[in-house]
Each structure stands twice: as C-alpha cells, then as structure tokens.
Amino acid sequence: MGRKKTYEVNLSPAERDHLENIISTGEEKARKLTRARILLKADDDWTDKQIQDALDVSLPTIARIRKRYGEEGLFKALNRKPSKRQFEPKIDGNTEAHLIAMVCGTPPAGYARWSLRLASERLVLLEQVSLASVSHETVRQVLKKTTLNPGRQNNG
C-alpha cells in the first residue's frame, strides 16, 4: 500500500507578505484566516500534526489546503470554491402575474384573507399555470418584490 502524497508548501516572499498581511489585519473571514495560517505554518516546515494541534483543524483540511496550493496556487487555496449549483427560477413572469392578480382579488369562500400557503396551493391549481408544486416561501419572495401583503384586508 502506497504512502499518501504530501504537498510541499514553498511560499515566495511576496506570497508570505500577503498572507501575513491578511492575518495581521484580521478583516477577512475566519475560514480564510485559518487557511492563511495553515499555509504559513506549512511553509515553516511544521508537520500536519503540529498544525492540527496549533490551529485546531482536522488533518484532512490541512491536506486539502496543501494540495490546492500545490496544484492551483495561492488564490485558490485561500478562497472557497464557487458553487456549481444552478438555481432555476420556479416562477416566470407569466406565473408571477397570475399570482399577483389572484392575491389582489377576493380570497376563496371560507377564507377571510389570503395566506402564503393558501396562495401557493391555489397557484398550483390554476389552469393557466403549469407548476407541479410551489412553496409558500417562493410565493412570499414574489409578493415581497411587489410590496403586497396577503394578510391585509385590501391589497388593491
């Protein structure tokens, strides 16, 4: 069984100054400060175990930071990876218009006013809208943009 590859951290003087400046100002996020400290200690030939004890981080975290620095450079090692998730809007302009028109109208029989949950249930039932489901939070966000309040007696 092979031994795990350990990535060497050899910071240039400019990189070292940059990391020390980040730490001394303390204005960055805590995660970025910890990554900077890991890189500085790794450059000072500290073992992963010593870094773990000093900074209270896990060994896999130290290994990941070393690896990212070795493969992708200082900027990538310090900063988070951007999210790969793509969020598609569930409600388009046409559906928004139907929702707003519905909420501005009178509530269904048996209800005194529109609630977010009631609006989300009724929006799915509309024939003009093709949605399998929509959450009350999505309805809230759409209505917030229009400053409509479904709890008020008169929205018009």
Can you read off the two tokens belonging to residue 44?
């000072």
Mean residue pLDDT across the chain: 88
pLDDT at 156: 52
In tens, the pLDDT along 92-123 reads 888 899 899 999 889 999 999 999 999 999 88
How large is the average pLDDT for residues 41-49? 93
In tens, the pLDDT along 116-156 reads 999 999 888 887 777 888 889 989 988 888 876 666 655 55
**d(Cα 140, Cα 115) in Å, to the nearest integer?**
10
**What percent of the chain is predicted at pLDDT more than 70?**
91
Can you read off the two tokens belonging to residue 100?
């707003």
